[in-house]
Amino acid sequence: MAPDGATYFRKGFGLKAEVETTLSSDYNGRLVDLLRERDYTLSAGDTTIRLAKEFGFCYGVERAVEYAYQTRHKFPDRRVFLVGEIIHNPHVNARLVQMGIEILHPTEAGFDYSVVRPEDVVILPAFGVTIQDFETLRTIGCVMVDTTCGSVLNVWKRVDVYARDGFTALIHGKYYHEETRATASQVEKHAGGTYLIVRDMAEAERVMAYIEDGGDRDAFLAHFREKASPHFDPDVHLARIGVANQTTMLARESLAIGDRVGVAMERRYGAEHRTEHFRTFDTICSATQDRQDAVNALLLEPLDVMLVIGGYNSSNTISLAALCAERVRTYHVEDAEGIVPETGVIRHRDAVTHDEVESASWLPQAGALRIGLTAGASTPNNKIGEAVARIFRARGIDPATVV
């Protein structure tokens, strides 16, 4: 138990000043500061780098990382565990491990909390945890430090109300993602609460087709077996729907799914039924929206190539890369280390296979070049700055001369 008798903390420990220097040294980047000062543009020789005006760490991520640092400072002699990754960035998670924070990795059966004792400290990640995980930890009696993002909590409130009012929560998200699992679990606060998860418009169209025309119930259930409540019945639970989403999905797709599902319900049941039995809200987080808007603005400029930095399992980064790939040759790198100036190779995520692949000669060695750059909300400034430095070196330019 914590010294003051409390076991649940959501607002940190008032130790921001104590950890600020360490955070700054771990994550700040000189070249990023310079880009901001120069209207998000750095040029050297015939190479120009343009940075999207919204990029990298969002408030929710900054808060989660800061609280993790505060937790280690607050409990220097306690065992500190983290439920999964704090955010989807390998550098940040590795740094927490270096600080002595042990990451609990999920299995097919979920997280194993048997190693956690009442005197231990457990950090809940920015994505949140399921209701079952929370109750398990509360039963153990350990100290919990909750870094769940406020935007995620907003979605939880919507889903909670849907379930309370007897609506099926139709969630646009990735069924295996930590945030989506935690969001879906919110329906379990209410008896009979039901959810259904759709990955994209194609899966939403399956749902819409069933709403309007029915179909093969067994085939439908087989397809959504891992993506729906155990008791979900499409013949019963698609008559009242409330749409929500994983906060980091592609905003335009989430909005389109909400609109089209509403239209499908109206065609099947009539306008009055839609008014009474269909709800939708835009719950894409503002930081996700801002980064997508900034990328769209940057893509209006002439660019030769686009670089997107962020974890391969970061949904908001994947969405940014998808937007960019529609307009210009795009590379999604997990970290700055994916750019290898000495060989001219770049290691990046293949958008089709999702595997990491290598591409040679991704940057020409001569001629004027304009490179666009952005980063997912889990990418720290130092890694963005390091990527900028490696791009310049790949063009034969010493980044130290960029002033």
Domains and CATH numbers, the chain: 19-58+287-401 (3.40.1010.20), 60-148 (3.40.50.11270), 151-284 (3.40.1010.20)
Q: Measure the CA angle with vertex 275, ends 240 and 160; round to 5°.
A: 45
Distance, CA of 188 to CA of 107 (rounded, Å)? 22
Beta bridge mates, 357: 348
Residue 323: closest CA among 292, 354, 297: 292
Q: Measure the CA angle with vertex 160, ends 156 and 165; round to 5°.
A: 150
Distance, CA of 355 to CA of 336 (rounded, Å)? 17
Cα–Cα distance list, 342 to 29, 339, 345, 398 (Å): 22, 9, 8, 13
pLDDT for res 149: 95
Residue 76: closest CA among 19, 128, 21, 23: 19
β-bridge pairing 241-245 and 168-172: parallel
pLDDT for res 5: 55
- Which residue is it, tokens 């409390």? 6
- Which residue is it, tokens 């505060």? 70
The angle that helices 59-74 and 150-164 make with each other, rounded to 10 degrees, is: 100
pLDDT averaged per 10 residues in sequence order, the chain, 403 residues: 68 94 89 95 95 94 96 97 94 95 92 97 97 97 97 96 98 96 97 97 98 96 97 98 94 94 97 96 85 96 97 93 96 96 96 94 89 95 95 93 81
Active site residues: 179
pLDDT for res 6: 80
Q: Is 81 helix (H, G, I), strand (E, B) or coil?
A: strand
Distance, CA of 69 to CA of 13 (rounded, Å)? 10
pTM over cut 0.75: yes
Question: What's the chain's average pLDDT?
Answer: 94
